[in-house]
């Protein structure tokens, strides 16, 4: 079985409050993109995991794909697996690549061995692996609330645009990014803004503090606007930045060097 876990972008992101459990209450609109990893799952005599492409820094723990398998094995018995993950989504870049890999692993094993879990049940497993993971069980365009696990599927707007996704290869600590934000509640909901003003009415609350700490990320956003983007924003806590264009843009040499995806996109 070969699967293609996609990157996501946050069209906008509001940080509303600090929660008693240490997480933050957020609301965001997440959208699937065409940029993807490649995940191959094969029944085998013994378990094995190989990762190629962009290297994932080791944190001393099993890869999220392996953690997903271990989580399912706490509830079901199924054969050993040979797993090959080809990383093409930059790591720690606000694109949810690791979360996508874990969720596609859950869905893939569920399908491969007819485990019988519904998408709702898979999303509950995914939430144990990471806040962004449940989004990738269904993907598409979704409103996320809570710490990101409370999801509502949104109907696509039917827009066809050009998406340019850039990564400046700067690591932004998610914890530091949250520490730099003053939560703000009482605003219009992000969904209301999206439905009344469109994508141009959205904002990412992380941008102010992250741009202060890393001016090159703000420069990248400005460069996308200078190239003709109708909307540009940082995804998640960064450092990736995306631009939406009405037609295929001509990118400067600097933008081209940082571009990790350019092509048609539907949302």
pLDDT in tens, 41-88: 999 999 999 999 999 887 788 999 999 999 999 999 999 999 999 999
- Give the C-alpha separation, 34 to 45, whole Å: 33
pTM of the model: 0.94
Domains assigned to the chain: 2-153 (3.30.230.10), 160-266 (3.30.70.890)
185: alpha, beta or left? (left if phi > 0; alpha if psi -120 to 50): beta
* Percent above pLDDT 70 for the chain: 100
Beta strands in 94-188 (DSSP E): 141-146, 150-153, 160-166
Asked if 183 and 17 touch (Cβ cutoff 8 Å), the reply is yes
Rg (CA), the chain: 18
Task: Please tell me the predicted confidence (pLDDT) of residue 3.
Answer: 98
Alpha helices in 81-233 (DSSP H): 97-112, 119-127, 135-138, 174-179, 190-197, 207-213, 215-226
**pLDDT confidence of residue 68:** 98
Q: Which two tokens stand for residue 232?
A: 């540009």
Residue 47 tokens read as 């378990």
Predicted local confidence at residue 22, as pLDDT: 82
The Cα–Cα gap between 147 and 130 comes to 10
What is the pLDDT at residue 128?
95
Catalytic site positions: 8, 132
d(CA 255, CA 42): 38
Inform me whether the pLDDT recorded for 1 exceeds 90. Answer: yes
> To the nearest whole number, what is the mean pLDDT of the chain?
95
Helix (H) or strand (E) holding 197: helix 190-197
**21-35, 98-112, 171-185: lowest mean pLDDT where?**
171-185
| Per-residue confidence (pLDDT) for residue 173, from 0 to 100 | 87
What's the confidence (pLDDT) of residue 151?
96
For residue 144, the model assigns a pLDDT of: 96
* 3-class DSSP state of 96: coil
148-181: pLDDT as tens digits:
889 999 998 888 999 999 999 998 988 888 989 9
């Amino acid at each position: 079985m070969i699967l293609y876990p996609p990157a996501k972008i946050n069209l906008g992101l509001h940080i509303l409050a600090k929660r008693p459990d240490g997480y933050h209450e957020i609301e965001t609109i997440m959208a699937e993109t065409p940029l993807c990893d490649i995940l191959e799952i094969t029944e085998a005599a013994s378990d094995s995991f190989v990762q190629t492409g962009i290297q994932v820094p080791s944190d001393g723990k099993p890869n999220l794909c392996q953690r997903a398998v271990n989580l399912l094995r706490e509830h079901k018995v199924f054969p050993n697996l040979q797993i090959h993950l080809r990383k093409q989504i930059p790591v720690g870049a606000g694109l949810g690549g690791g979360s996508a890999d874990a969720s596609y692993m859950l869905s893939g094993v569920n399908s491969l061995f007819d485990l019988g879990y519904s998408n709702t049940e898979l999303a509950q497993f995914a939430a144990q692996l990471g806040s962004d993971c449940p989004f990738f069980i269904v993907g598409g365009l979704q409103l996320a609330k809570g710490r990101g696990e409370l999801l509502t599927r949104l109907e696509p707007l039917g827009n066809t645009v050009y998406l340019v996704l850039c990564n400046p290869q700067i690591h932004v600590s998610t914890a530091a990014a949250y520490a730099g934000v003053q939560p703000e509640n009482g605003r219009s909901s992000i969904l209301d803004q999206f439905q009344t003003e469109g994508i141009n009415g959205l904002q990412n609350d992380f941008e102010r503090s992250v741009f202060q700490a890393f001016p090159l990320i703000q420069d990248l956003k400005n460069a996308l606007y200078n190239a003709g983007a109708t909307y540009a924003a940082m995804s998640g806590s960064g450092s990736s930045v995306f631009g939406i264009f009405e037609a295929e843009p001509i990118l400067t040499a600097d933008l081209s060097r940082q571009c990790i995806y350019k092509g048609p996109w539907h949302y």
